[in-house]
Structure 1
């Protein structure tokens, strides 16, 4: 919420926190080449909720005091993100933002999001940014009773539609009924920003090249500059003759909101000076660029600090050890904290619970996913 408004409050709703997650299980998307998952059969798709990769959802969370009881409580709502298209009946429909849908979408897993004003910006690895509008959230169950299948109004051609949030196996518009994998709320995509150059990074590889469009691996907001800027960077794993360690650049948000003409990279535009790991997330504040570098699961990651001098990134101080699998960065201005989350989950990486490390204390697991924060004042004081 520190990003959405300059005063860090969303009107009478106060302090709202926003989280992104995605369903990457991929048994039912078309033409899945992975033999370990494959495609679900038509019958399984109709009957089994688990056969549908639901894609990206956003969770709005509000810490508040109950107006009736006076007791503190947490309220939250899940909102499914959808990209719109025109279906075979010439009506607008939508599908989920999938991490792997062949050949339509690849790599949309909400690795970075920014809520700024009415807009939500979502990093799309192979394309750029997808844009969503908080003012166009669809409520497919306005009376709060899933069994009533509420009326959703009529099209310009007079065709009436209804909604069904009980059937969790469908998404979009089918026979004039709106489906949403069972979610009550859907936020459709309203725009997209794509890189002008063709992306020449090898598909399916974490290595990067130094020419062409970068990958949009993560995104953050810098409100300490004039104008406010979005920072976007790419995760790379330098190896095999690919020279790029990852590019990072900033873009004025006001220019992006115009949705027209080219928006040139400015400010932090540069290559990250890393050689052994990949930049997983970056945030800038008051002239300092913070970058999380992942070192895999066998050792803690590094948090780097850089300044900008004569058109180049200059390292400030030593690397600060941080979480294993350190991910994207988010700066909470009011709290003065730099937030992140560790990436790995138990039993997946080879050196996690599957092969316990004898050097780790008994009963601990460093591969848990954990949100954590560094105080900016503490970071500034480090050598």
Structure 2
């Protein structure tokens, strides 16, 4: 869920002016839209020291479980798929579809996790949800074999034997190897360890509630934070969405800004990944962007790049959402009304060249799959 909307602006996106080092990293009003990427800096913070001891505790309790358990113990179901001329959609179970407490935001899949497209034999999606007060985050693992799913809570190990909730908006998510990347709006990107999924007692507490007993706000499974990438640029940047490009070499992470209008900068930035470590490529602990651009499309909720083309979702208040198709160097084409109301993040699956997305409006919360061939670009 994003800030209140402003009147719709008619915008075009073009990459026809060459980059210059003199271009200020915050200036999106100038004709030169390609920005100096070396200004966009993330600094990797040390791994959470409490994760190791907590992992040992849960291993000794026989409650450290493989990620596959989240696909084989599903307890909720999507609706049967509905197909339109533009996409196929699934609706979340009734309580999740209408609750004002939890709002879906990000989407990724096993096609992001591993190049082969499946993980531990499962084909699935992962969805991030922010709580209405942003005091915690849950993620849903969807088994595409039978369209069922289960929620898990993201947690932060704040003591050697204890964890707490993660108070962020969770605007977007990427599954990469055994890591789960979640944007932290003003501070950067948090990374969670899917190699340390823990089963807890079902109860209303959070963290340690007794000797050898842990709870997580009625959720049965938790995924702990292992590290985070802190925004250390000299100017503010808004981490509204995140996506992975497996068609690039190396694998590339993209983040971008939601803004209600173009009176402020609206930028999109890419960082190279190291597939051998599942971390950003760094000089020491500093990760520097390889590409940054002033996009100038207001209300962007998500974007993903694949095979050199960028796909962008835009919300339009109570109206249907838009899908932009953009080949850098050309003008972005607006496929107006492509989405249902309130589209959010996007993800790409090169198996069949599919785009995945989702919508957040109460009563109209869908997972969406479409062919990239249905998205026009100029």
TM tier relative to shorter chain: 0.5 to 0.7
Q: How many residues align?
A: 263
Q: Relative contact order: is structure 1 or structure 2 higher (C-alpha 8 Å, sep ≥ 6)? A: 2
What's the TM-score once normalised by structure 1's chain length? 0.63
Q: Does 1:243 align with 2:264?
A: yes
Q: Does 1:343 align with 2:360?
A: yes
Mark the CA change 1:328 to 1:135 in structure 2 (over 3 Å): closer, same or farther.
same
Root-mean-square deviation (Å) = 2.4
Match of residue 237 from structure 2: 214
Structure 1 counterpart SS, 2:113: coil
1:17-40 CA-partner distances (Å, limit 9, x unpaired): 2222233257xxxxxxxxxxxxxx
Match of residue 117 from structure 1: 177
Match of residue 60 from structure 1: 141
Q: Cα offset for 1:174?
A: 4.1
Matches within 5 A, 1:277-356: 277-297=298-318, 299-309=319-329, 314-323=330-339, 324-346=341-363
Q: Cα offset for 1:258?
A: 6.3
Q: Cα offset for 1:57?
A: 1.6
Q: Does 1:171 align with 2:206?
A: yes
Q: Cα offset for 1:301?
A: 2.4
Match of residue 233 from structure 1: 256
Aligned partners of 2:219 and 2:369: how far apart in 1? Answer: 31
Which consecutive unaligned segments of at least 5 residues does structure 2 have? 1-109
Matches within 5 A, 1:1-383: 1-11=110-120, 13-24=121-132, 55-64=136-145, 73=146, 76-86=149-159, 91-98=160-167, 108-140=168-200, 165-168=201-204, 170-176=205-211, 177-197=213-233, 212-238=235-261, 242-244=263-265, 246-254=266-274, 256-257=279-280, 260-267=284-291, 269-274=292-297, 277-297=298-318, 299-309=319-329, 314-323=330-339, 324-346=341-363, 368-380=364-376
Mark the CA change 1:258 to 1:271 in structure 2 (over 3 Å): closer, same or farther.
closer
What's the TM-score once normalised by structure 2's chain length? 0.64
Which consecutive unaligned segments of at least 5 residues does structure 1 have? 27-52, 65-72, 99-107, 141-164, 199-211, 347-367
Mark the CA change 1:129 to 1:25 in structure 2 (over 3 Å): closer, same or farther.
closer
Aligned partners of 1:180 and 1:301: how far apart in 2? Answer: 35
Aligned partners of 1:377 and 1:63: how far apart in 2? Answer: 22
Aligned partners of 1:61 and 1:369: how far apart in 2? Answer: 14
Mark the CA change 1:131 to 1:294 in structure 2 (over 3 Å): closer, same or farther.
same
Structure 2 counterpart SS, 1:10: coil
Aligned partners of 1:9 and 1:377: how far apart in 2? Answer: 23
Aligned partners of 1:76 and 1:344: how far apart in 2? Answer: 20
Aligned partners of 2:375 and 2:232: how far apart in 1? Answer: 37
2:124·2:142 contact (CA, 8 Å) conserved in 1? yes
Higher strand share: 2
Task: Report runs of 4+ in structure 1 exceeding 6 Å deviation.
Answer: none
Aligned partners of 2:206 and 2:305: how far apart in 1? Answer: 38
**Bigger-Rg structure (1/2):** 1
Aligned partners of 1:182 and 1:318: how far apart in 2? Answer: 43
2:281·2:287 contact (CA, 8 Å) conserved in 1? no
Aligned partners of 2:334 and 2:281: how far apart in 1? Answer: 40
Mark the CA change 1:262 to 1:92 in structure 2 (over 3 Å): closer, same or farther.
same
Mark the CA change 1:229 to 1:175 in structure 2 (over 3 Å): closer, same or farther.
same
Q: Cα offset for 1:216?
A: 0.7
